[in-house]
Chain A
Amino acid sequence: MILSGNPPRGKLLTALLILVVVVLALAPFLFPGSKPANVAAKICVFALLVASYDLLLGYAGIVSFAHTMFFGIGAYGIAITLYALGPSWGAMALGLGAAVVVAAVFALAIGLFSLRVQTIFFAMVTLAVASAFAVLASQLSWLTGGEDGRTFRVPEVLRPGFRLIENGPFGITISGRTLSYYLVFCSVVVLFLVMLRIVESPFGRVLQAIRENPFRAEALGYRIIYHRTLANVLAAVFAACAGALNALWLRYTGPDTSLSFNIMIDILLIVVIGGMGTLYGAIIGAALFVLAENYLQTLMGAAFGALNASGAGFVANFFNPDRWLLWLGILFIFSVYFFPTGIVGKLRAEPKS
C-alpha cells in the first residue's frame, strides 16, 4: 500500500479493498440520493474510527471502552466551536485542534495513571471514565446542548444549497453536500495511510511485541508504559478526527451520535468481523457492517414480499423485516465462526520466504 510498505497480501483481499475504496470514491455519482450518501460517509467515518481502535486493540493489545469518548470529544469540539463562533473555516480548525489536544491530554492522563495495571482493570477504568464523560456531556447543556445536542451551520461551500457545478458534463451536479462527502473521504484516506505507516514503523513492531509478550519486550530494552501510552494517545487523536468528520457530515452532535455505548459495541463488532491487528479489516468490516445495518431490512422486506406472493407463507415469516436484527446477529455469529481471525485475517496470505 502507498507509503506504508504494508501491502494487503492476498489477491482476493486486494481486489476487495480496491472495490470498496473505488465505490466509496465514486459513491456520490454512482448512488445519488441522501441515504446512499449517508451510508457511504458512515462507512468512511467508521473505517477510520475502527482502524484507530485496531491500533489500540489489535496492535498494542489494549482493551479500552473509552474510544467513543474520544470520538465524542472530536464531534463536540467541532459542534461547540461552529455553534459559538459561526460557520467559518477558522472555527472548524480551532474546534478540530482543540478536540485533538483535549483527546490527547485525556488519553495521556488515562494511560499514565492506568496502563500500569492489568488489562481488565484498565478496561474497567476506561469504562468508568467514558460513562462519567457521557454524563458530563449531557449535564453541561449550556455548552453541549445536553440531551438535545447541538445543531450547527458549516461553512457555505459545505452546505447542501451550495452548487459548485450544476448540470455539468454528463449532467453532473457538485453540491456542497458532495464537497462535504469528499472532505470526509479524503481526510479518512490520508489519516488511514498515516496509521498504516505508524503500524509498519519500528514503533508499530514494538507494540506488536508488547502485545505478544510484554516481559520479552522489556528484556529487549523497550519501556512498556511509554509505548502503550503513546499508542493510547495516537488512537485517541485519530478517533477524535473521526468524530469531527462525523459531526461535519451530520451538521449535528448529540449524545446518541457521538457518545452512545452502542457505538462502542459497533466498533468492537466491526474490528472482530474485519480482523484484528490488520487495519485493513476496519475498511472491510465497516463496509459490511454499515451496509447490513442499513440495507438488510430492505432486502428482507423484498424477500418477504416475494415469498408471500409465491405462497410460501411459512418460509416468508423467517424473512419478516421486523426480524432484521435477529438476522444481523446470526450473520455476525456465522462470520465469527467461519472467520475467527476476521475476514482480512482469513484472506491474508502468509508472507513468502
Chain B
Amino acid sequence: MTEALLTLSGVHTHIGRYHILHGVDFDVPRGRTTMLLGRNGAGKTTTLRTIMGLWPASQGSIHFDGARIDKAATPDIATSGVAYVPETMAIFSDLTVKENLVLAARAGAPDERRLEWMFGFFPALRKFWLSRAGTLSGGQKQMLSIARAIVEERKLLLIDEPTKGLAPAIVSALIECLKEIARSGATILLVEQNFRVAQDVGDLVHVMDSGRIVHSGAMADLAADDSLQKRLLGLSLDSHQ
C-alpha cells in the first residue's frame, strides 16, 4: 500500500449552526488520483475547504505530509504544498493570464520548461497570455484555474468539480489534461459529479453521504459494479452518465 500523503481522522466541520461533516475519515496516497464522489450536499466541497483551512475543522485531525494542519492558517497550508482549485473557476478576472500564473508561482517567475509542458495541454493560455482572464471562455477559465495550481510543483492538488458547466468537447480535453497531470506523478484529490470523468482519471474512490464516508475502494471496482454505483450514488449518477 502506498504511503498516505493526506489523512483525515474523524473530521467534523460546522458552518455557523449547521453541522456539515460528521467524522470524515480517509487517506489520500502519494502519486495517485483519489476521487471524492457523492450526491449534491454530501459534504465534498466542505471537505476540500476544511483541508484547505477555509472552514476550520471543529473536531478531528488532518495530517498532511507528516504534519498536523487542521489548526494551521490557509496561507500556511498553501505554502506547505497544497494547491486548491475551487469549483467556481476561481481566477482573478482583472489580472491577465500571465499575471494569474505569476501570482500562483510564489517562488518568482514561472519555470519556462514547466510553462511549455502546461501549454502542451492548455494551448489557449499561450494564445491569451496577455489578455485579461475575465475575457476568457468558461473552459479557458477552468484551464487557467487548474494551470495556476500546477504552475509550480505541489505535493497535493485539491480540485473541485473541474468539469461543472463545461461543454462535452471541453470535458474530454480536460480529462486528457487531468490524466497528463496525474502521469507527471502528482497526487490529486478530485471532487467530481461526472462519473465518466471519475472513471477515466480516478485510481481510488471515496464516496460521501450526509457528511460521512460511506465507501472507499478502487475506482475500477466501483466502475464495474452497477448495483454498488446505484446504491451509493443513486440519482447523481443517473443524471451524469
B95 adjacent to A205 (CB under 8 Å) = yes
- Expressed in whole angstroms, the Cα–Cα distance for A215 and B77 within the complex equals 13
Q: Which of B103, B104, B131 contacts A351 (CB 8 A)?
A: B131
Chain A neighbourhood of B75, CB < 8 A: 218, 221-223
- Expressed in whole angstroms, the Cα–Cα distance for A216 and B141 within the complex equals 14
B54 adjacent to A213 (CB under 8 Å) = no
Instruction: For the complex formed, measure the closest distance between the CB of B90 and the CB atoms of chain A, giving whole angstroms.
Output: 5
A350 adjacent to B79 (CB under 8 Å) = no
A215 adjacent to B54 (CB under 8 Å) = yes
Chain B neighbourhood of A212, CB < 8 A: 92-95
Chain B neighbourhood of A211, CB < 8 A: 94
Chain B neighbourhood of A213, CB < 8 A: 90, 92
Closest to A226 in B: B75
Check A351/B74 contact, CB under 8 A, given A208-B95, A209-B92, A219-B84: no
Closest to B133 in A: A212
> Is A353 at the interface (CB under 8 A from chain B)?
yes
Check A220/B106 contact, CB under 8 A, given A215-B54, A350-B131, A353-B131: yes
A202 adjacent to B130 (CB under 8 Å) = no
Instruction: For the complex formed, measure the closest distance between the CB of A281 and the CB atoms of chain B, giving whole angstroms.
Output: 15
> Is A343 at the interface (CB under 8 A from chain B)?
no
> Is B127 at the interface (CB under 8 A from chain A)?
yes
Chain A neighbourhood of B20, CB < 8 A: none
Count chain A CB atoms within 10 A of each CB in B54, B75, B102, B106 and give the residue with the most: B75
Instruction: For the complex formed, measure the closest distance between the CB of B62 and the CB atoms of chain A, giving whole angstroms.
Output: 15
Instruction: For the complex formed, measure the closest distance between the CB of B93 and the CB atoms of chain A, giving whole angstroms.
Output: 7
Chain A neighbourhood of B95, CB < 8 A: 205, 208-209, 212
Instruction: For the complex formed, measure the closest distance between the CB of B234 and the CB atoms of chain A, giving whole angstroms.
Output: 32
Closest to B131 in A: A353
> Is B129 at the interface (CB under 8 A from chain A)?
yes
- Expressed in whole angstroms, the Cα–Cα distance for A351 and B73 within the complex equals 36
Check A351/B106 contact, CB under 8 A, given A216-B90, A218-B78, A219-B52: no
B54 adjacent to A219 (CB under 8 Å) = yes
Which B74-105 residues have a C-beta within 8 angstroms of A?
Answer: 74-75, 78-79, 84, 86, 90, 92-96, 99, 102-104
Q: Which of A215, A218, A221 contacts B106 (CB 8 A)?
A: A221
Check A205/B54 contact, CB under 8 A, given A221-B75, A223-B75, A350-B132: no
Q: Which of B73, B94, B103, B127 contacts A353 (CB 8 A)?
A: B127
> Which A residues fall within an 8 A CB radius of B?
202, 205-206, 208-209, 211-213, 215-216, 218-223, 277, 350-353
Smallest CB-CB A-B distances: 9 pairs = A221-B78, A218-B74, A221-B79, A219-B84, A221-B75, A209-B92, A216-B90, A351-B130, A223-B75
> Which B residues fall within an 8 A CB radius of A?
52, 54, 73-75, 78-79, 84, 86, 90, 92-96, 99, 102-104, 106, 127-132, 135, 148
